[in-house]
């Protein structure tokens, strides 16, 4: 209880209690896990030491209830699932769609999933559930054709050719200029031969054009599988974008991977936050935080279960 009191006190001193009207940590009965209960809160602040703190999230009461009542039915396939169906991309019966937030995104997102990726483990489905109009999930090798769209589509991948988010507009504009020139003046001349000239002329490309990026692609798979998808000719020639290094909160660390290897929903979230500030040049005010609606809840459950486990083992050893 001291620990719980400490967290509440810390939140109080940080002036956050005015927003979260009540924050309790409660031990669930007959269940070895803890959960955080918040009532009447617009914004949710998880325990002070949590990396997902300060997110502007919708009330997660619906998830708390669903967690207490256990698995429920998928209204599409009839399967028994927790929170949502990872094959139909819909919430289950005891998580009504109108009680989960809807996130508006500034661009479309394609997620390419490797067929061997275990559906239940992927966080890609969170994006589809929370921003259904903006997100499409494809299972490799059934992916769209991006031919002729390489001036408005980019792929998130940290490779040797990757550029940073703030340079996306510049590089896409260059591609548009290449295309225009290719059509008008030099139809037979391949783009790469003109590279040097463009680099010299390219200085004013960022000015007053806004962004031309319409779609961003994420690959949802383990590291080895990603390389197989990347070599697909349909993805060749697309602009590759890398994210700023951020530490992951992902609870299923991939073996041998550094803790900067983000889960798909984290990668999407951080991409959008940077896109908002670096490309749209607007102040970020939590517009995409609800993309972590499921993720932060599940993360907290696992963290609390781990804490409960640690406490149990402490009891046993002392």
Between 76 and 209, CB nearer to Zn ion: 76
Interface region with Zn ion, contact rule CB under 5 A, candidates 2-10, 59-67, 73-81, 100-108: 73-81
- Nearest distance from residue 86's CB to Zn ion, in Å? 8
Between 43 and 88, CB nearer to Zn ion: 88
- Nearest distance from residue 120's CB to Zn ion, in Å? 12
Between 27 and 93, CB nearer to Zn ion: 93
Between 74 and 262, CB nearer to Zn ion: 74
Q: Interface with Zn ion includes 172 (CB under 5 A)?
A: no
Measured in whole angstroms, the distance separating CA 30 from the mean position of its chain's CA atoms is 33
Out of 47, 74, 92, 168, the residue judged to bind Zn ion by CB under 5 A: 74
Helices then strands, counting H and E runs in the chain, come out as: 8, 12
* Phi and psi based region of residue 230 (left: phi greater than 0; alpha: psi -120 to 50; beta: remaining): alpha
Out of 77, 186, 244, 253, the residue judged to bind Zn ion by CB under 5 A: 77
Out of 25, 48, 56, 88, the residue judged to bind Zn ion by CB under 5 A: 88
Element (H, E) at 125: helix 124-130
**Cβ atoms 123, 221 nearer than 8 A:** no
Q: How many CB atoms lie within 10 A of CB 227?
A: 13
- Nearest distance from residue 88's CB to Zn ion, in Å? 3
Cα-Cα-Cα-Cα dihedral of 90, 94, 97, 102, to 10°? -90
The CA-atom distances, in angstroms, between 130 and each of 63, 294, 310 are: 14, 9, 33
Within residues 249-278, the interface with Zn ion by CB under 5 A covers none
**Cβ atoms 164, 274 nearer than 8 A:** no
Distance between CA 122 and CA 183 in Å, rounded? 43
Q: Interface with Zn ion includes 189 (CB under 5 A)?
A: no
* Site map 23..62 versus Zn ion, x via CB under 5 A: ----------------------------------------
Between 118 and 161, CB nearer to Zn ion: 118
Out of 85, 105, 130, 268, the residue judged to bind Zn ion by CB under 5 A: 85
Distance between CA 269 and CA 105 in Å, rounded? 10
And the tokens for 171? 């590089």
Out of 3, 68, 76, 214, the residue judged to bind Zn ion by CB under 5 A: 76
CA atoms within 13 A on the CB side of 121: 15
Total binding residues toward Zn ion, as defined by CB under 5 A: 6
Interacting residues with Zn ion (CB under 5 A): 74, 76-77, 79, 85, 88
């Amino acid at each position: 209880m001291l620990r719980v009191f400490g967290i509440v006190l810390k939140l109080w001193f940080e002036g956050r209690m005015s927003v979260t009207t009540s924050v309790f940590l409660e031990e669930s009965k007959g269940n070895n896990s803890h959960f955080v209960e918040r009532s009447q809160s617009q914004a949710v602040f998880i325990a002070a030491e949590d990396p997902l703190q300060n997110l502007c999230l919708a009330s997660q009461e619906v998830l708390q209830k669903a967690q207490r009542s256990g698995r429920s039915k998928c209204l599409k396939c009839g399967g028994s699932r927790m929170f949502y169906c990872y094959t139909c991309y819909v919430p289950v019966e005891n998580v009504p769609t109108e009680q989960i937030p809807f996130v508006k995104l500034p661009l479309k997102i394609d997620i390419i999933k490797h067929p061997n990726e275990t559906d239940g483990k992927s966080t890609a489905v969170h994006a589809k559930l929370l921003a259904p109009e903006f997100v499409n999930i494809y299972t490799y090798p059934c992916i769209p054709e991006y031919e002729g769209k390489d001036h408005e589509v980019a792929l998130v991948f940290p490779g040797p050719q990757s550029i940073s988010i703030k340079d996306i507009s510049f590089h896409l504009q260059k591609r548009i200029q290449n295309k225009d020139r290719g059509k008008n003046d030099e139809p037979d001349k391949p783009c790469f031969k003109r590279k040097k000239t463009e680099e010299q002329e390219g200085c004013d490309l960022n000015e007053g054009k806004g962004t031309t990026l319409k779609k961003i692609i994420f690959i949802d798979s383990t590291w080895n599988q990603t390389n197989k998808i990347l070599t697909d000719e349909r993805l060749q020639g697309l602009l590759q974008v890398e994210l700023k290094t951020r530490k992951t909160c992902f609870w299923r660390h991939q073996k041998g991977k550094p803790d900067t290897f983000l889960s798909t929903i984290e990668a999407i979230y951080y991409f959008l936050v940077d896109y908002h500030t670096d490309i749209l040049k607007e102040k970020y005010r939590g517009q995409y935080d609800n993309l972590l609606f499921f993720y932060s809840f599940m993360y907290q459950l696992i963290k609390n279960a781990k804490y409960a486990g640690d406490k149990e083992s402490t009891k046993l050893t002392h």
